[in-house]
Chain A
Amino acid sequence: MVISDSLQTFEDSERYLAPDERTRLQLASPAEIRKLRIFTEQWTRVQVPLRAYLASFLGNSIAVDDGVQEVALVVWNKGPWEVEPPAFLGYTLACARRVALASRRRQNDGRMKFLSPEVASALADTVAVQEQQEANWTAERFDALRTCLKGLPASQRELLEARYSAKSAAELSSHAERTGAKMDCLYKKLERLREILRICVNRRQAQQQ
């Protein structure tokens, strides 16, 4: 019985997973693998709106990372992972709102700089509405962004990588030291690079359509 269960698991996972993952997955039940597969698809779709939503309230990338972590645990444990993607997004963002408000309460020591509660809330709602209306961060749009990034000169890509690394402040400082640039100049460059990339992505998408 145990062997046949394992084989069933093996066959069920075969369509989705590389061969070297089979051994590991024999430890999980078919129901768990199914949940993992569906949850992964759902989670992949909501990551961008979730980050943007949390950033509306928190405005600090480390706090946003922590928020994503907290939301993931709640959604994995209690979330309706089998529902349609819009419902999953709605549930995730509802969790995110509670997590973000709790995080603001914990961190509000008078020196933390947030947008006012009503503005943060309106901004987060706008993120949610845009996501539900447009849903434009599709796989194709990500592909376009990757292509645009590859088209940048190495120095500009390096700057973006420094900014968006896990230790962005330290990485940016060391980038400034290495290149002899002032931090203000680097931030201006970042602003321009984001604009260039935005235009590039929109153009590529328009060409595809």
Chain B
Amino acid sequence: MTELSPDSPLDSEMADLVSRYLDERLDPAQRKRLDERLRDEPAALEYCASQLRFAAALRQTLEPQRLEMLETRRMVIEPGLRGPEWSVEQQRTVRYGSGRADALPSPATNGAGGRFGTHLWRWGVFFSLILLASLVVAGWLRMENDIVAPAVADSTAELDSRVVLRNPDFEATDLSLAARGITSTLVDWQEPYPVTLAELCEIGRVTNGRIFAKSGKNVVHMQNMGYITQQLRRNDGGRLRATTSLKVRLSGWYYVDGVPFSHLKSSLTFIASPRPDTIRYQAGKQMVKLPAGGWQHFTMEVSMKGENLMREPLFTAGAVTNKPSLDLTGRELHLMIERRDMLSEGDLYLDDLQFEVISE
């Protein structure tokens, strides 16, 4: 006879319900059933608690969570009425996220956080040195031997033609000395327009520690109808141009606060004329609904609609009277990210954006 321990499944229904709860895929009827059984059966409660603990241990082993405290100290010494005065402001933020360097960490990496961080640093430095050494060797071989050169040149050319977002994590600006932890200047995200109804925000400070950035300290805060734009450039300085087969993917992390959901629109736009006589054409767009619930990942794909790229102007400033259709083929594109809700309540935060060209 086997001994019944708290982590032994009671029956197949309970095992299934708890497994669904752990994997976040209970439907309303199943949730109600789990609720009933947990309420009525102490053994079910014991089993579920035990499974939650096992799942937490599994998560901790497979994806060790690194805790990172950031401390900022601002010391000010100034002449006062009765002699020199000084003040110290200190701010602490905490980041909690994956710090794993390997799928199955060695026992040593599970100990103190300081040691774990040290291992990551070591690996980072190690791989950086390897990469640097490879580049030096490749450069040397290229000079020494013409046979090697084409292969290196080809791979470099492929790399250089990639479109990469600039300042995708919004960390290019240090807001630690900004009075309120916000600024309306968003480096690389106001091309060609200044940002409207959007701002860079040191979120941990602005929300008094209620919300933290997905990474680093800064996020972009978007009010309703706010937008940010960036000209899409390649590593080699070239521009991303419109073609009928163009398809791109934008992904990143969002946080909806104060409302149940928000809407995010991203579009590939050709700006024929910037302000004040704005004429803007939209080559392709995509809109997604973002439900609230902490930091969540989003992905949206934008492709060109229709057989050709003939477009009517999407927006023209009031003073513009000539509003011609235009074939956007070969035109330089901007990425435009907008918050589009019916109501102006709540806040939307974005962090760690990524952009990828799927087809051209």
Whether B299 and A170, one on each chain, are in contact in the complex, defined by CB atoms closer than 8 angstroms, is yes
Within the assembled complex, what's the spacing in Å between the Cα atoms of A160 and B23? Answer: 12
Beta-carbon contacts of A42-77 to B below 8 Å, as 1s and 0s?
A: 011001111110011001111101101110110011
Whether B31 and A72, one on each chain, are in contact in the complex, defined by CB atoms closer than 8 angstroms, is no
Within the assembled complex, what's the spacing in Å between the Cα atoms of A122 and B50? Answer: 13
Whether B48 and A21, one on each chain, are in contact in the complex, defined by CB atoms closer than 8 angstroms, is no
Whether B23 and A48, one on each chain, are in contact in the complex, defined by CB atoms closer than 8 angstroms, is no
Whether A65 and B96, one on each chain, are in contact in the complex, defined by CB atoms closer than 8 angstroms, is yes
Restricting to A128-155, which residues have a CB under 8 Å from any CB of B? 130-131, 137, 139, 141-143, 145-146, 149-150
Given contacts A40-B112, A131-B53, A160-B62, contact A60 B24 (CB under 8 A): yes
Give the shortest distance, in Å, between A202 (CB) and chain B (any CB).
8
Within the assembled complex, what's the spacing in Å between the Cα atoms of A146 and B94? Answer: 28
Q: Let me know if B212 is at the binding interface, CB within 8 A.
A: yes
Whether A115 and B49, one on each chain, are in contact in the complex, defined by CB atoms closer than 8 angstroms, is no
Whether B38 and A149, one on each chain, are in contact in the complex, defined by CB atoms closer than 8 angstroms, is no
Within the assembled complex, what's the spacing in Å between the Cα atoms of A195 and B121? Answer: 35
**Which B residues lie within 8 Å of A52 (CB)?**
49, 52-53, 55-56
Give the shortest distance, in Å, between B183 (CB) and chain A (any CB).
24
Q: Let me know if A178 is at the binding interface, CB within 8 A.
A: no
Whether A111 and B260, one on each chain, are in contact in the complex, defined by CB atoms closer than 8 angstroms, is yes
Within the assembled complex, what's the spacing in Å between the Cα atoms of A60 and B297? Answer: 13
Whether A118 and B296, one on each chain, are in contact in the complex, defined by CB atoms closer than 8 angstroms, is no
Whether B35 and A113, one on each chain, are in contact in the complex, defined by CB atoms closer than 8 angstroms, is no
Give the shortest distance, in Å, between B211 (CB) and chain A (any CB).
8
Within the assembled complex, what's the spacing in Å between the Cα atoms of A156 and B292? Answer: 32
Q: Let me know if B58 is at the binding interface, CB within 8 A.
A: yes
Whether B24 and A65, one on each chain, are in contact in the complex, defined by CB atoms closer than 8 angstroms, is no
Nearest-CB residue, chain A, relative to B117: A21
Q: Let me know if B150 is at the binding interface, CB within 8 A.
A: no
Within the assembled complex, what's the spacing in Å between the Cα atoms of A70 and B207? Answer: 12
Whether A198 and B7, one on each chain, are in contact in the complex, defined by CB atoms closer than 8 angstroms, is yes
**Which B residues lie within 8 Å of A137 (CB)?**
53, 57
Nearest-CB residue, chain B, relative to A32: B71
**Which one, A36, A48, A77, A123, contacts B45 given CB within 8 A?**
A123
Whether A111 and B114, one on each chain, are in contact in the complex, defined by CB atoms closer than 8 angstroms, is no
Whether A51 and B59, one on each chain, are in contact in the complex, defined by CB atoms closer than 8 angstroms, is yes
**Which B residues lie within 8 Å of A169 (CB)?**
297
**Which A residues lie within 8 Å of B58 (CB)?**
145, 160, 164, 194, 197
Whether B115 and A17, one on each chain, are in contact in the complex, defined by CB atoms closer than 8 angstroms, is yes
Whether B297 and A145, one on each chain, are in contact in the complex, defined by CB atoms closer than 8 angstroms, is no
Q: Let me know if B196 is at the binding interface, CB within 8 A.
A: no
**Which one, A20, A66, A157, contacts B103 given CB within 8 A?**
A157
**Which A residues lie within 8 Å of B62 (CB)?**
149, 160-161, 164-165
Whether B19 and A164, one on each chain, are in contact in the complex, defined by CB atoms closer than 8 angstroms, is no
Given contacts A145-B58, A160-B58, A190-B23, contact A111 B291 (CB under 8 A): yes
Given contacts A51-B59, A68-B65, A166-B63, contact A61 B94 (CB under 8 A): no
**Which one, A51, A106, A141, A170, contacts B56 given CB within 8 A?**
A51
Nearest-CB residue, chain A, relative to B7: A198
Q: Let me know if A3 is at the binding interface, CB within 8 A.
A: no
Give the shortest distance, in Å, between A175 (CB) and chain B (any CB).
13
Count of B interface residues, CB-CB < 8 Å: 76
Whether A127 and B118, one on each chain, are in contact in the complex, defined by CB atoms closer than 8 angstroms, is no
Nearest-CB residue, chain A, relative to B18: A191
Give the shortest distance, in Å, between B18 (CB) and chain A (any CB).
9
Give the shortest distance, in Å, between B204 (CB) and chain A (any CB).
9
**Which B residues lie within 8 Å of A55 (CB)?**
52, 55-56
Whether A187 and B19, one on each chain, are in contact in the complex, defined by CB atoms closer than 8 angstroms, is yes
Restricting to B229-264, which residues have a CB under 8 Å from any CB of A? 257, 260-261
Nearest-CB residue, chain A, relative to B93: A73
Q: Let me know if A98 is at the binding interface, CB within 8 A.
A: no
Within the assembled complex, what's the spacing in Å between the Cα atoms of A106 and B258? Answer: 7
Given contacts A126-B49, A149-B61, A160-B58, contact A190 B19 (CB under 8 A): yes
Given contacts A62-B296, A69-B96, contact A48 B53 (CB under 8 A): yes
Q: Let me know if B330 is at the binding interface, CB within 8 A.
A: no
Whether B19 and A61, one on each chain, are in contact in the complex, defined by CB atoms closer than 8 angstroms, is no
Give the shortest distance, in Å, between B106 (CB) and chain A (any CB).
8
Within the assembled complex, what's the spacing in Å between the Cα atoms of A191 and B294? Answer: 26
Within the assembled complex, what's the spacing in Å between the Cα atoms of A144 and B92? Answer: 36
Within the assembled complex, what's the spacing in Å between the Cα atoms of A163 and B62? Answer: 10
Q: Let me know if B15 is at the binding interface, CB within 8 A.
A: yes
**Which B residues lie within 8 Å of A106 (CB)?**
257, 292
11 A-B pairs (CB sep. < 8 Å): A20-B118, A47-B56, A61-B59, A65-B65, A69-B95, A109-B291, A113-B31, A115-B21, A119-B39, A123-B38, A187-B19
Q: Which of B's residues lie within 8 Å of A, judged by CB?
A: 5-7, 9, 15-16, 19-26, 28, 31, 34-35, 38-39, 45-46, 48-63, 65, 67, 69, 92-98, 103-105, 107, 110-115, 118, 121-122, 209-212, 257, 260-261, 291-297, 299
8 further A-B pairs in the complex, CB-CB below 8 A; given A18-B118, A119-B35, A166-B63:
A43-B113, A52-B56, A62-B296, A63-B294, A76-B69, A142-B110, A163-B23, A191-B19
